Amino acid sequence: MNLLQHLATVIADLLRADASRVVLGEDVADGTMLGLTRIAAEDPELAPRLLSTPLCPSVMPAHAAGLAAEGFRPLVVCTEASALLDAIAALREAAKLTAPVVFIAPFGPGFGLGGGATEGPESSLARIPGVRVVVLSDANDAGATLRAAVEGWAGDEPTVLLVPRTLALAEVGEATEVLSRPFAAPRRVREGEAATVFTWGACVAHVQAAVANSGQDARIVDVECLAPLDRAALVEEAKATGKIVIAHSGPARGGVGAELAALFADDAILTLDAPVLRVTGDDGPLTATSEGKALPSLDALTTAITHVATY
């Protein structure tokens, strides 16, 4: 079963568990382009709560917030995260109302689309006050992460759950039923003392390969929640080694990586023993044929990790 298929079973379970949950989006009554509601659509008990809408990207979060104001808990399925960039004003209104709405959207490179899929929508979304931005990185944990978001583990603010396209079709092995760790919190995916690599989304697996390649004892921290940042926990991870690499897909310019670098300059400068390096995708614009440049290369990651760890 691939990740999208697995998420479809989780979405059906979530609808079954709570009658106030509804799904909004294009074609949700027919399963959606990504198949995320395919299982729910086959269940006559759940089908009435699959609310297909016309394409209304710029107001959808506000519409969902209106539903939430009446006690419903909407899950909005977006065909791609760039739809949410059209919706920044509406997201702001939803956040002002602390509307318990979850958005799930694929983003980043992986389907050979180029263009918007090579940019980093997460940095624009992370700037909206009161919106939580969570990026999936582990196919086995993804379903449990969606469940935690919908169940409001971290609070009732609007939550954007971004699914890296590189992960969308990944095979799910042992799916986690319920997260055994906090939701929307930084997570150490590899222990190490020589350097700390902060990353998220599609880049997490990439960084694991690069660390193995480099032979350095670097720890890897999956930031997971890009807004709000758990500043204290992230600073602790930075101070632990004093040597920092930040890696993510999409352009470096104005990204969350820059925010992290500034955070460490603010709160950990006296414990830093090397320059803070950012390794990211190309600034673009990129096309379908150059989509691969949206992810940092294994070489660039390996070089940066080695450079910082041996500085």
233: left (phi over 0), alpha (psi -120 to 50) or beta: alpha
Do residues 49 and 22 make contact, with C-beta atoms less than 8 angstroms apart? Answer: yes
| Residue 297 lies near other proteins (rule: CB under 8 A) | no
Q: Cβ closer to other proteins: 70 or 174?
A: 70
| Residue 103 lies near other proteins (rule: CB under 8 A) | no
CA gap 21, 66 in Å, rounded: 14
| Residue 47 lies near other proteins (rule: CB under 8 A) | no
Q: Cβ closer to other proteins: 50 or 194?
A: 50
- Interface residue with other proteins among 4, 28, 29, 67 (CB under 8 A) is 67
- Interface residue with other proteins among 16, 96, 181, 253 (CB under 8 A) is 96
| Residue 140 lies near other proteins (rule: CB under 8 A) | no
| Residue 16 lies near other proteins (rule: CB under 8 A) | no
- Name residues contacting other proteins, limited to 21-40 (CB under 8 A): 22
Location of structure tokens 């004892």: 217
- Interface residue with other proteins among 11, 12, 65, 170 (CB under 8 A) is 65
The CB-of-184 to other proteins minimum distance in angstroms stands at: 25
> Taking the chain, what is the end-to-end CA distance rounded to the nearest angstrom?
44
80-98 burial by CB neighbour count: b if 16+ within 10 A, else e? bbbbbbebeebbbbbbebe
* Nearest residue to 125 via CA among 82, 73, 165, 166: 82
Instruction: Summarize as ranges the residues that interact with other proteins (CB under 8 A).
Output: 22, 49, 51, 53-54, 56-60, 62-72, 89-90, 92-93, 96-97
